[in-house]
Amino acid sequence: MKIFLKFLLLMLLLIVTLAACGKSDAIEKTEDQLSGMNDSNEEIGEGNTGDGITIGEPEVTNVTLRLNWRFKGEFSPFFVAQEKGFFDKYGLNVDVLEGNGSTSTMQAVAQGQDDFGVTSTVEPSQGLVEGMPIKMIASYMNRSPIMIASHPDTPVETPKDLEGKSIAMAIASTFTNVYPFFLESNEVDESLVNSVQVESSARNGLFLTKEVDAVAIFSTNEYPLFEKELDVELTSLYLADFGYDLAGLTLIGNESFLEDNPNTVKRFLAAIDEAFEYTLANKEETVELVMELFPDAMDAETALMQLEFLEEIALFEDVPYGWMSKENMEDTLDILEISDLISERYDVERYFTNEFFE
């Protein structure tokens, strides 16, 4: 009888222990579901992202992202988000499409033909004056990629070094428009600089054949191509270091789409945030991925160099990738206003929002 009672007591203790474990497991499982996050690429449900952003179910799941040009290294995170499952993780099916210039991309978004678009901060600032229903929702270069590259035997290390030298620039480019004011604000005598305005392809040719001393380009695009072609380390001057910091790689959305689909937008930006972090932590793997997608765009070495330059100007600390600074936007508007690139200026809140990161 005593043995039987002991057996019953042991069984009772075992049942209580298992019940307690089961309850604990259930609580942990419920907490995981509410947080909506895990370390895998399993789909995120309603809850909070890793950055503490409250997020609901997506209003729409099929969206388009229109780039402003054909593939180049700085676009890699968008394709990483697509190919490595970050968009899937957030319940989105995103079609990443190449483009043909920031203006045409902006028009497509304004007309509702595409849901999101990549531009710089310049085009949407101009588009608002024209009445386009668009808003900037993220910018992944919070330092301008615009630079002056020069040959090592005719280096341009400061704006003043342009005096007595020649520089090529593309007609109607952002640089060409701000150039006179850039020179003036840096006390450069424009009459002492030979400024050559040509089409982009001709600009590149003039520099590569050393018919000009310097050229205005983007660090994340042409600069690695030129160094590889010339097999020499060029001298670089970032306009941002001399008072002209125009952010690039900016995402815009149609105002109606943003208003009607806030959870979709939050999920979209959360996926890109994770993709940027993954891309810059795994640059060589990323290059292999994009080279399979775009084998004829460039060589792997150039794509890697473009990613390294992207890392230099994608400077985000304690905020998600894409978070826009009010100060940077104010500085951008100052430059556009003084350069007559915008005919009217509004309150800064009209141009951009960080609400989809909150």
pLDDT, tens digit (0-9, with 9 covering 90-100), for 244-259: 998 889 999 999 999 9
Higher-pLDDT residue of 241, 45? 241
Tokens of residue 223, six digits: 């600069």
Tokens of residue 305, six digits: 């160099």
Tokens of residue 96, six digits: 């990443």
Which DSSP category does 219 fall into? T
**Predicted confidence band of residue 32 (pLDDT cuts 50, 70, 90):** very low
Residue 13 above 60 pLDDT? no
Distance, CA of 298 to CA of 261 (rounded, Å): 36
State pLDDT tens for residues 109-143: 999 999 999 999 999 999 999 999 999 999 999 88
Closest to 136 in 3D by CA, of 90, 102, 85: 102
Q: Which residues contact 263 (CB under 8 A, 6 or more apart)?
A: 55, 56, 57, 58, 59
Q: What is the mean pLDDT of the chain?
A: 87
**Predicted confidence band of residue 28 (pLDDT cuts 50, 70, 90):** very low
Distance, CA of 80 to CA of 287 (rounded, Å): 10
Tell me the mean pLDDT in the region 201-215.
95
Closest to 97 in 3D by CA, of 119, 118, 83: 118
Q: Quick one: pLDDT at residue 166?
A: 98
> Would strands 235-238 and 146-150 be described as parallel, antiparallel, or unpaired?
antiparallel
Closest to 304 in 3D by CA, of 193, 250, 225: 225
- What's the CA angle centered on 109, arms 105 and 110, to 5 degrees? 115
Residue type, 154: T
Q: Give the 3-state secondary structure of residue 129.
A: helix
For domain 146-242, the question of CATH label 3.30.70.3270 is answered with no
Question: What phi and psi, each to the nearest 5 degrees, are found at residue 150?
Answer: -140, 160
Closest to 84 in 3D by CA, of 218, 76, 238: 76
Matching CATH topology for 61-144+247-357 and 146-242? yes
Tell me the mean pLDDT in the region 201-213.
95
Distance, CA of 305 to CA of 73 (rounded, Å): 8
Which DSSP category does 161 fall into? G
Distance, CA of 3 to CA of 194 (rounded, Å): 104
**Predicted confidence band of residue 44 (pLDDT cuts 50, 70, 90):** confident
Distance, CA of 311 to CA of 251 (rounded, Å): 18
Tell me the mean pLDDT in the region 306-319.
92
Tell which CATH architecture fits domain 61-144+247-357: 3-Layer(aba) Sandwich (3.40)
Q: Give the 3-state secondary structure of residue 263.
A: helix
Q: Where are the domains of the chain?
A: 61-144+247-357, 146-242
Which DSSP category does 251 fall into? E
Closest to 237 in 3D by CA, of 205, 213, 267: 213
**Predicted confidence band of residue 17 (pLDDT cuts 50, 70, 90):** very low
Closest to 101 in 3D by CA, of 188, 172, 17: 172
Q: Quick one: pLDDT at residue 50?
A: 53
Higher-pLDDT residue of 152, 173? 152
Tell me the mean pLDDT in the region 15-39.
39
Q: Assess contact for 352 and 120: CB atoms under 8 A.
A: no
Question: Is the entire prediction scored with pTM above 0.85?
Answer: no
Indicate the length of the chain as a whole number.
358
